[in-house]
């Protein structure tokens, strides 16, 4: 995943995609075509588990928090019963119905209302919310920072669980235990300020820790997997497991979590970093380069496409060479600053953005015979 310098990473959600055993589909473009373009069907990378669990992967970009995002940062009262556990009846009473608009949870600012919504701030609450959905047979979606997803204009016909598991603990110098909903950019800055190296690249990425671990986020010769010591997860059966580094495999924007058929969510991760005198200086330099080369103050979802492997050219360069910088469909536009960033510049709908994504893919394939692969995820209204 990346930009020309490899400095971009999409991370956003504390919950993660399973292998696509039953793929979902975006609306066919025959229902949303504009002008005289004949655009092909845009496939998605989403899947439903056997338990009706919609799983997403995360994303990244630097963006000034909206008023809605600031409001969501406040922690609600814990959903704790008299016995110290989480009462499922409290989960039921805490769910908002038909009142949360998904564009408030997306850096693209696109999306309609979800049928049910709940915010969780403790691991026990997240586990109980998952068990609740399994018991009620409700499709659910766990969202972190919403920085790599495109929600449907109709919303989501299920429960959206907003992950705010932002626990942070210093185990020993350079070793941190961090909740999956903790902002990844904040972690990168905090560790760098304290003089530890390994996550300087994270300073400009507003996704969450859980998404970074799942996708093995990385840039500038650093990646998340290199500094992971331990990861705690919850399965679709509600079982909490703790995995050591030796139990996990990492590759280029890949982790073995992506192939776990029973994974529901990452709860926390332990990082082990190394002392470095110039860690803060390096983190600042990387952040400044992002500010110069990416439209960080626009409504985007970070890089839309992954960089092709073994071609020596980035997705952004291919899009630019195809003459698509600044190209618009409806309220969606290819950024004039960085061609792999698509902007919601004028009240874009999900249909506008899907058309733009599909058009760019077709043009790049026509000109260069290269098939671009999406990094962002489209979330349909229902299966």
In a domain, 227, yes or no: yes
Give me the pLDDT at residue 90, please. Answer: 79
Give me the pLDDT at residue 300, please. Answer: 94
Tell me the three state secondary structure of residue 305: strand
Does this model's pTM top 0.85? My answer is no
In a domain, 99, yes or no: no
Domain that residue 181 falls in: 168-281
Q: What is the mean pLDDT of residues 66-87?
A: 42
In a domain, 136, yes or no: no
Give me the pLDDT at residue 179, please. Answer: 98
Pairing state between β 96-97 and 218-219: unpaired
Give me the pLDDT at residue 217, please. Answer: 85
pLDDT one-digit tens code per residue, 185-231 = 999 999 999 999 999 999 888 789 998 999 888 878 889 999 999 99
The residue that leads in pLDDT, 20 or 163, is 163
In a domain, 175, yes or no: yes
348-339-6-367 Cα dihedral, nearest 10 degrees: 120
Mean of all residue pLDDT scores within the chain: 81
In a domain, 347, yes or no: no
CATH number at residue 252: 3.30.465.10
The two tokens of residue 279 are 């860690």
Give me the pLDDT at residue 17, please. Answer: 35
Query: Into how many domains does the chain fold?
Result: 1
Check whether 2 has a pLDDT greater than 50.
no
Tell me the three state secondary structure of residue 270: strand
In a domain, 241, yes or no: yes
Q: What CA–CA distances, in Å, run from 382 to 26, 46, 48, 157, 236?
A: 10, 11, 10, 6, 19
Give me the pLDDT at residue 61, please. Answer: 37
Give the length of the chain.
Answer: 383
In a domain, 319, yes or no: no
pLDDT one-digit tens code per residue, 270-287 = 999 999 999 999 999 999
Check whether 236 has a pLDDT greater than 80.
yes
Give 233-256 as a DSSP string: EEETTS-EEEEEGGG--EETTEEG
In a domain, 59, yes or no: no
The residue that leads in pLDDT, 200 or 5, is 200
């Amino acid at each position: 995943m990346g930009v020309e310098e490899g400095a971009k990473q999409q991370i956003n959600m504390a919950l993660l995609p399973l292998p696509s055993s039953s793929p979902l589909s975006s609306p066919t473009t025959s229902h949303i075509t504009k002008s005289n373009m004949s655009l092909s069907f845009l496939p998605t990378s989403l899947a439903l588990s056997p338990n009706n669990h919609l799983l997403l992967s995360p994303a990244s970009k630097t963006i000034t928090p909206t008023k809605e995002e600031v409001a969501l940062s406040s922690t609600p009262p814990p959903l704790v019963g008299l016995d110290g556990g989480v009462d499922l009846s409290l989960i039921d009473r805490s769910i908002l119905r038909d009142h949360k608009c998904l564009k408030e949870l997306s850096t693209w600012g696109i999306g309609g209302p979800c049928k049910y919504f709940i915010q969780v701030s403790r691991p026990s609450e997240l586990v109980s919310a998952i068990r609740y959905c399994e018991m009620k047979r409700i499709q659910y979606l766990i969202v972190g920072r919403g920085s790599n997803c495109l929600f449907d204009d109709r919303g989501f016909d299920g429960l959206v669980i907003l992950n705010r598991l932002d626990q942070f603990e210093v185990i020993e110098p350079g070793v941190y235990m961090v909740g999956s909903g903790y902002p990844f950019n904040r972690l990168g800055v905090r560790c760098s300020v304290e003089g530890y190296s390994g996550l300087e690249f994270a300073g400009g990425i507003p996704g969450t820790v859980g998404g970074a671990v799942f996708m093995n986020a990385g840039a500038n010769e650093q990646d998340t997997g290199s500094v992971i010591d331990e990861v705690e997860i919850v399965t679709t059966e509600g079982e909490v497991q703790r995995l050591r580094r030796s139990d996990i495999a990492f590759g280029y924007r890949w982790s073995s979590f992506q192939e776990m058929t029973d994974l529901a969510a990452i709860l926390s991760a332990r990082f082990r970093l190394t002392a470095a005198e110039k860690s803060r200086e390096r983190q600042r330099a990387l952040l400044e380069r992002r500010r110069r080369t990416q439209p960080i103050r626009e409504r985007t979802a970070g890089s839309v496409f992954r960089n092709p492997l073994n071609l020596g050219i980035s997705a952004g360069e291919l899009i630019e060479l195809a003459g698509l910088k600044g190209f618009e469909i409806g309220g969606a536009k290819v950024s004039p600053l960085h061609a792999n960033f698509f902007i919601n510049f004028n009240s874009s709908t999900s249909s506008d953005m899907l058309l733009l994504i599909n058009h760019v893919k077709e043009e790049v394939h026509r000109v260069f015979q290269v098939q671009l692969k999406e990094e962002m995820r489209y979330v349909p209204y229902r299966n």
